[in-house]
Amino acid sequence: MKENPQAMRQRGALVEHPFGTLKHRAGINHFLMRGLKKCRGEFSLMVLTYNLTRVLNILGADCLRDYCAQRHENELKNVNYG
C-alpha cells in the first residue's frame, strides 16, 4: 500500500461504502444475535435489503416489477401439468 496509495483510496471508495451504509442503517456497531450462524443470517438479511435497495434505485420499481412479471410468465409456460 505504501507503493500505491491510490489503490487504497480506490478500495475505500468502492468497498467501504456498502459496509458503512449497512452500519448506518442498522444503527448499531454490533450484531443483535449471538453465535456465528445467527450473525451470518443477520448479516445476510442486511446485505439482501441493501442489494434490493440498490436495484430499486438503479432500475426503478416499474422496471423491477415488469422483469419479475416476465420471469413468472416464462416459468408458467415451462411447467408440465401432465
Label residue 77 by pLDDT band (50, 70, 90). low
Query: Which sequence spans correspond to the domains of the chain?
Result: 29-82
The reply to whether the predicted model has a pTM over 0.95 is no
Residues 6+ apart with CB under 8 A from 21: 50
Segment 5-48, tens digit of pLDDT: 888 778 777 777 777 777 777 666 677 778 889 888 888 888 88
Label residue 81 by pLDDT band (50, 70, 90). low
Scan for cell 444503527, then name that residue: 27
Per-residue model confidence (pLDDT) at position 23: 75
Per-residue model confidence (pLDDT) at position 82: 47
